[in-house]
């Protein structure tokens, strides 16, 4: 029997939306979102293979694993560690296969580190790839085309340590029709969005529900890019959710802010239980939005649009970027004023980065503004691989540090939490999670108890933090008790982000 060891390496550095705070606090490792890639690939491997999975955020990589084949996958943030592991396994005589987004976007950087390079999507080439690996007749490179998602099987979640993931994951589409200059998604997933049939999505939700998940991330680059498709899927999810025997699910996803113009889809989101949306607002600067091609953000006031989402019971998480060519030294104050006016507790703040495969990357290469010391790009929110146009790199870092620490000061965070709670709608709030439901396995209950412990630790970390947690908790209990699960989610994010700031030297010096 051929043995294959599938590995998702840890991301470097720590991530805003990671869960490293659990291990740091003395608990076992945890993931914010269950890793979807490895269970999906595992489902495409023939039954006569022995499969072992490793999510390095949860368990250490076993360099001496008795595997015939080691397969690694990862994004830019995982590239350095991925290539390090590939070299270590090849020294031990293993056949090393590398695929995934980074391998597809930067094949020349990956090829020296592996025996087999897989570019593109795997569904159409999986049979040939695994047949060749079994027979020992593998080729140096396999290239997959954009897949018909009807060919994607239900992921092998039975092989994954589900007890250490806070929420599950289902991908319902691939691709994005927008052309944001800094984004690499169209380069490897295409502009034409492809969709799974609602019956496929519901079948995957059934599996995750049976494993005890009560919250799922719909892992789409833009869930509402096709409004007609999204409405049909949300209708199917809402019908499925109403029939759950042990409490319903809540969902999170990514969408563009222009969806706020469509009351029908917002109502369907609420009915389906879509409680959290990541929205890339990026910047209050219209010049910077035009520069980066984010036209969908220009038609309307962003705060008014966020309030429309909140009215339908959808909490917003948002991304902010600093360092566009149009950004002068005043951008940090502009961003601070914007953040202070927004009922959005969680922002992922970062410098503009040119990812491999993005139009911005090509422009920076052509203009001689790409920094060679970041060979994989950079996933650090406080560093960039481009030379800013209107400020020095040092000024960019100093401004980011000041802005980030303002955003995540206890007072500012508490103000935004209260503002969000006061605006969240109740009529269409959608189903609430049931953290103590009888269907949840004991190990998942343990993870939820540990989340509560993290929040207690946060309240004990200093007088300002204690006052913040007390203020938010009392406000929710008195005025919006139905939103206590969202409060816990936001405080967990806050604890993780402060942990990242602290360990990476981003806190004030």
CB neighbourhood size of 172 (10 A):
21
Domain extent at residue 112: 2-148
What is the enclosing helix (H) or strand (E) of 479? Answer: helix 463-479
Residues 409-460 pLDDT 10s: 999 999 999 999 999 987 443 344 444 444 456 767 888 899 999 999 999 9
Residue 111 has pLDDT above 90, yes or no: yes
Residues 129-154 pLDDT 10s: 999 999 999 999 999 999 999 889 99
8 A C-beta contact, residue 399 and residue 322 = yes
pLDDT band at 185 (very low <50, low <70, confident <90, very high): confident
Residues 188-210 pLDDT 10s: 888 889 999 999 999 999 999 99
Of 423, 454, 473, the domain-final residue: 423
204 and 348 in a single domain? The answer is yes
pLDDT band at 373 (very low <50, low <70, confident <90, very high): low
What does the alpha-carbon distance between residue 123 and residue 44 come to, in Å, rounded to a whole number? 7
195 and 243 in a single domain? The answer is yes
378 and 450 in a single domain? The answer is no
Q: Note the pLDDT of residue 166.
A: 94
CATH number of the structural domain spanning residue 299 = 3.80.30.20
Burial of 169 by CB count in 10 Å (0-12 exposed, 13-18 middle, 19+ buried)? Answer: buried
Let me know if residue 114 belongs to a domain. yes
CATH number of the structural domain spanning residue 16 = 3.40.50.280
Let me know if residue 431 belongs to a domain. no
Q: Note the pLDDT of residue 430.
A: 39
310 and 453 in a single domain? The answer is no
Let me know if residue 460 belongs to a domain. yes
Number of compact structural domains in the chain = 3
400 and 477 in a single domain? The answer is no
**pTM of the predicted model as reported, rounded to 2 decimal places:** 0.93
265 and 370 in a single domain? The answer is yes
Of 356, 390, 423, the domain-final residue: 423
254 and 142 in a single domain? The answer is no
8 A C-beta contact, residue 451 and residue 492 = yes
Q: State the average pLDDT over residues 243-255.
A: 93
Residue count of the chain: 509
Let me know if residue 429 belongs to a domain. no
67 and 202 in a single domain? The answer is no
Adjacent-strand bridge partners of 78: none
454 and 349 in a single domain? The answer is no
CB neighbourhood size of 374 (10 A):
17
Q: Note the pLDDT of residue 437.
A: 44
Which is it for the CA torsion 94, 99, 100, 106, positive or negative? positive
What is the token pair recorded at 334?
């502009």
167 and 238 in a single domain? The answer is yes
Strand, coil or helix: what is 374?
A: coil
Q: Note the pLDDT of residue 179.
A: 86
Q: What 3 state SS string does 25-68 have?
A: CCCCCCEEECCCHHHHHHCCCCCCEEEEEEECCCCCCCCCCCCC
Of 106, 124, 148, the domain-final residue: 148
Q: Note the pLDDT of residue 435.
A: 44
Let me know if residue 99 belongs to a domain. yes
Q: Note the pLDDT of residue 45.
A: 98
470 and 407 in a single domain? The answer is no
pLDDT band at 96 (very low <50, low <70, confident <90, very high): very high
Instruction: Tell me what percent of the residues of the chain surpass a pLDDT of 90.
Output: 80
102 and 225 in a single domain? The answer is no
Residues 262-307 pLDDT 10s: 999 999 999 999 999 999 999 999 999 999 999 889 988 999 999 9
What does the alpha-carbon distance between residue 205 and residue 260 come to, in Å, rounded to a whole number? 26
């Amino acid at each position: 029997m051929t043995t294959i060891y599938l590995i998702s390496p840890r991301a470097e550095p720590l991530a805003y939306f990671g869960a490293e705070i659990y291990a740091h606090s003395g608990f076992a490792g945890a993931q914010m979102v269950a890793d979807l890639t490895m269970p999906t690939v595992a489902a495409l491997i023939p039954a006569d293979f022995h499969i072992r999975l490793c999510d390095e955020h949860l368990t250490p990589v076993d360099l001496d694993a008795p595997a015939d084949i080691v397969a690694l996958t990862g994004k830019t943030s995982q590239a350095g560690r991925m290539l390090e592991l590939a070299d270590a396994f090849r020294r031990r005589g293993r056949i090393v296969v590398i695929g995934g987004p980074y391998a597809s976007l930067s094949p020349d950087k990956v090829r020296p580190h592996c025996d087999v390079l897989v570019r593109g999507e795997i569904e159409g080439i999986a049979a040939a790839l695994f047949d060749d690996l079994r027979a020992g007749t593998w080729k140096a490179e396999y290239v997959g085309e954009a897949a018909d998602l009807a060919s994607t099987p239900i992921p092998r979640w039975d092989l994954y340590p589900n007890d250490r993931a806070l929420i599950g994951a289902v991908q319902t589409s691939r691709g994005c029709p927008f052309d944001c200059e800094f984004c690499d998604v169209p380069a490897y997933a295409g502009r034409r969005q492809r969709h799974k049939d609602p019956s496929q999505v519901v079948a995957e939700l059934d599996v995750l529900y049976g494993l005890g998940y009560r919250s799922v991330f719909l892992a789409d680059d833009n869930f509402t890019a096709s409004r007609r498709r999204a409405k049909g899927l949300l209708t199917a999810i809402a019908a499925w959710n109403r029939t759950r025997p042990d409490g319903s699910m809540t969902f999170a996803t990514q969408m563009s802010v222009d969806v706020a113009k469509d009351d029908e889809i917002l109502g369907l989101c609420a009915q389906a239980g879509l409680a959290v949306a990541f929205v890339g607002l990026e910047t209050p600067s219209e010049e910077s939005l035009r520069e980066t091609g984010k036209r969908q953000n220009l038609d309307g006031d962003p705060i008014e649009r966020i309030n429309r989402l909140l009215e339908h019971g959808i909490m917003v998480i948002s991304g902010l970027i600093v360092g566009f060519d149009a950004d002068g030294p005043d951008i940090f104050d502009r961003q601070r004023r914007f953040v202070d006016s927004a009922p959005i507790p969680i922002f992922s703040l970062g410098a503009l980065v040119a990812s491999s495969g993005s139009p911005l990357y090509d422009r920076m290469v052509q203009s001689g503004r790409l920094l060679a010391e970041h060979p994989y790009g950079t996933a650090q929110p406080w560093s960039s691989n481009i030379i800013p146009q209107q400020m020095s790199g040092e000024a960019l870092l100093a401004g980011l540090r000041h802005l980030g620490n303002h955003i995540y000061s206890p007072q500012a965070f508490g103000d935004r939490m209260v503002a969000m709670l006061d605006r969240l709608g109740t009529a269409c709030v959608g189903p609430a999670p049931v953290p103590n439901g009888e269907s949840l396995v004991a190990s998942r209950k343990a993870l939820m108890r540990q989340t509560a412990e993290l929040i207690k630790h946060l309240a004990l970390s200093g007088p300002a933090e204690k006052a913040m947690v007390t203020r938010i908790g009392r406000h929710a209990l008195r005025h919006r008790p139905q939103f206590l699960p969202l409060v816990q989610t936001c405080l967990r994010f806050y604890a993780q982000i402060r942990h990242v700031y602290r360990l990476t030297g981003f806190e004030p010096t």
